[in-house]
Structure formats: C-alpha cells, structure tokens
Amino acid sequence: MADRGRASGRAVVALCLLLLFALVGCDQKPATDTAKSEVQRVLDLRATAILDRNEPGFVRTGALSWFGNLAAVPLADWSYRLTDLDRTGDTATAEAVLSYRVRGYDTAPVTVGRTLNLSLDAGGQWYVDTERPAQQAAEQLWDQGEVMAVRGAHGLVLGVGQSAAALRSYADLADRAVPAVSEAWGTDWSRRVVVLVPKSLEGMAGLLGSPASSYRGIAAVTTGETGAPALAPADRIIVNPDAYGVLGAFGKQVVLTHETTHVATRADTTPATPLWLSEGYADWVGYRGTGRTPSQAAPELSQAATEGKLPAALPSDPDFGFGSDASGLARAYESGWMACRMIADRWGEVRLGEFYQAVGAHEERAGAVEDAMAKVLGTTPGEFTEQWREYLRAQLG
C-alpha cells in the first residue's frame, strides 16, 4: 500500500510538472515563428529600400545583386509577403509573394513568386544572399539585366540589352497604336500600355515562364497581370525581338496595334470568349484603315481558296496553339480576322463591338456565341458559318 501511494504521489508531481511546462510554453512562440517574423521584417526593410532607391538600405538586407537593374523603372508599390520558411541552423530558404506596381500604368499589382536564400550574419540578423524567381514562376525583366525605360505619349517601353533608339521606335509604335484602338473600340480603357523588350527570344520565354520553342516565330504576346481583378487585369505586351525584328514597318505596326487591342478589350475578354473572336478582333483592329485587301492580309486562306480547300468551320482554340505548324496557325488567325471583318462589313463596326462584349458577358463558354449571335446579329452559328464561307469565296476567290 505504501509503495503504491508513493508511486501515485510521483505521478501527481510529474503531472503537475507537465502542466506547469505546458502553461509556461503557451507564452512562448516556436523558434520557427520567431524566425518567420524576423525574415518578414527584413523583407519589409528590403521593399522600403527599393521604393526609396536606397542602396545602402538594400545592402543592409542582403547582397546588392539586381538592385541597380531597377533604377529606371518607375515604381509605385513594392512589397513581399512571406509564405513559407525552411530553416536549417543559420541558413534558411524563404518563399514569398512579391507585389509591385508601375507608377502611372498599373491600377492593380503584379504578383509573382520569389525564392530567397538567407543566412544569419555575425550580429544574428537574417541576410538575403540570393533572390530569384520561385520554381515555375516567370522571370521579371530586371532579373535579366539593367532595365532601360523610354516613355511615349501613351506607353512605357522597358527593355534589356536594347538601344535607346530601338526602344524609342517601340514607343512611337505604341503612340500610334493606342489612338487607333480607341477609335475602333472606344475610350473606356486605360489608353496606356507597358511594352517589355527583352534581349532575345530566350529572354521573352523567361518573362513568360515557358520554353523558348513555344514562341519561336511569334512576334509578341500580351499577358495579363496575375493577382489583378479577374475581369480587368492590367497587361504587359512582351516582344520577341528576334521575330519582331524581321518585320517591316507595316508589320511592326499591325502587331503592336493587335497586342494593344488585347489590352483594351481585356475587361470584356473572358473564358466565354473563343480565340477566333479575340484574336480575329485584334487583327481586325490591326488592319483597320490600312487598305490591305483580304488576299494581301490572308495569304494562307487565299491559297486554300484557290485550291478549293476552304475550312468547313471556324477555328477552335487549339488551332491557335503556338506549337501548331506555321501555315495552320496563320490560317486560324486569318479565319478569325475574316469572320470579324465580315461582321463589320455586314452588321457594322458598332455591332461588332457589341457582339464581342455580349460573348464575354456570358457566364460560361457553352452558349456564349449562340446567345450573342441571336441577340446582336440575329443569326445562328450554322447560318453564320455558311455566310462566312461564302464571304471567304467572294473575297479570296
């Protein structure tokens, strides 16, 4: 009996000690939480230094690295949000979301994933050794080198490895593109564009987070910002200098006007919008007022018409894949352009814009084109396709 009593007493003491330890422990944060707050503080100081153009302040948070590459970029906001921290002794790897805005152009921030390697310095403070794009995240232009900026009346051109004269030529193209798009689409959009010109095709691919082979032969693409409001994200026009450089003056203007159209129509371009309409409309605006005939602007379809091999249907989204063969991709774009051109010719330019908006306003892809054709054009997809094929024969035959 006595032994059992002593054992019971020891158990009670042990239990009390455990409870006391638990109560004391409740007031202490785990070491990892402390490290997270300390790293977040360093990232906040880093962001402030970038916005203030404070090089000594930046160096106090980490290696100088690409700080100087940002000097010409007009920044309105810059912030980091730590999402994960993997610490091993005096070193750590942090995952963070970087949010930034370009002053005068971005109404919503660009958000991108960044990976940072840190170590504790002699004073016990976290220090950023390297910062790079997170895995599967796209590069930013300053990751590729020193950024040069050229402003136009309607656009900001940011380039790496390009001459000032080359960047000025892009700004001039943008200054002609924006009014042309507003004349066709209307003025209910920002009427400003940001054009990114990397050094090469590989640089373009890096900005898009994709293999270079995906964009070989593609002169430019327009990409909406991640993290911006879903219905109206800001955009970047990203140029492939290798493909763009071989175009003549006319082709360069058409391409940049096409991409600027994507910026203008972004709020009305949704998952309900088929690519034949979004790409066709952008081409229609690009060629509008140029005097180019269908045979001149649609050589692949013109050849198909000559051979009696006109397409039986409007192109599907996969037909616009950059991995498609060059002729097939050209026919897809030309087919979409001719469809939009037909609407403008037969129903009027205003009705074409209304049709575009009606399709994008649909909640889902299914039924979007059908409903818009019925309400805006008074026709059906079947009738429209037949009219489009007849239009191709008449214009290209």
Residue 365 CB burial class (10 angstroms; 0-12, 13-18, ≥19):
middle
pLDDT value of position 23? 39
**Residue 272, helix vs strand vs coil:** coil
pLDDT value of position 285? 98
Q: Mean pLDDT, to the nearest integer, of 219-231?
A: 63
For residues 134-156, b (16+ Cβ closer than 10 Å) or e, as one string? beebbbbbbbbbebbbbebebbb
Whether pLDDT at 12 is above 70: no
On whether the CB atoms of residues 301 and 309 are closer than 8 A, the answer is no
Mean pLDDT is lowest, of 7-11, 213-217, 244-248, 386-390, for 7-11
Terminal-to-terminal C-alpha distance of the chain: 111
Name the residue with tokens 């007849």: 390
pLDDT value of position 232? 42
On whether the CB atoms of residues 266 and 303 are closer than 8 A, the answer is no
Mean pLDDT is lowest, of 29-33, 38-42, 169-173, 314-318, for 29-33
Q: Mean pLDDT, to the nearest integer, of 265-290?
A: 95
Q: Mean pLDDT, to the nearest integer, of 317-321?
A: 92
pLDDT value of position 227? 31
Provide the pLDDT confidence category of residue 233 given band limits of 50, 70 and 90: very low
**pLDDT, tens digit, 9 for 90 and up, residues 111-154:** 999 999 999 999 999 999 999 999 999 999 999 999 999 999 99
Whether pLDDT at 369 is above 50: yes
Q: Mean pLDDT, to the nearest integer, of 19-29?
A: 42
Provide the pLDDT confidence category of residue 57 given band limits of 50, 70 and 90: very high
Whether pLDDT at 178 is above 60: yes
pLDDT value of position 322? 74
* Percent of the chain at pLDDT exceeding 70: 89
What is the spatial distance between Cα 305 and Cα 311, in angstroms, rounded to a whole number?
Answer: 9
pLDDT value of position 10? 44
What is the spatial distance between Cα 334 and Cα 338, in angstroms, rounded to a whole number?
Answer: 6
Domains and CATH numbers, the chain: 31-137 (3.10.450.50), 139-267 (3.30.2010.30), 269-397 (no CATH)
Provide the pLDDT confidence category of residue 340 given band limits of 50, 70 and 90: very high
Q: Mean pLDDT, to the nearest integer, of 343-355?
A: 98
Provide the pLDDT confidence category of residue 324 given band limits of 50, 70 and 90: low
What is the spatial distance between Cα 275 and Cα 280, in angstroms, rounded to a whole number?
Answer: 8
Interstrand relation of 193-197 and 155-159 (parallel, antiparallel or unpaired): parallel
**Residue 246, helix vs strand vs coil:** coil
What is the spatial distance between Cα 336 and Cα 314, in angstroms, rounded to a whole number?
Answer: 7
What is the spatial distance between Cα 272 and Cα 236, in angstroms, rounded to a whole number?
Answer: 22
Provide the pLDDT confidence category of residue 256 given band limits of 50, 70 and 90: very high
* Mean model confidence pLDDT for the chain: 90
pLDDT value of position 293? 94
pLDDT value of position 323? 67
pLDDT value of position 107? 84
Mean pLDDT is lowest, of 87-91, 106-110, 169-173, for 106-110
What is the spatial distance between Cα 86 and Cα 152, in angstroms, rounded to a whole number?
Answer: 45
Whether pLDDT at 31 is above 90: no
pLDDT value of position 28? 43
Question: Regarding predicted confidence, which is higher, 213 or 168?
Answer: 168
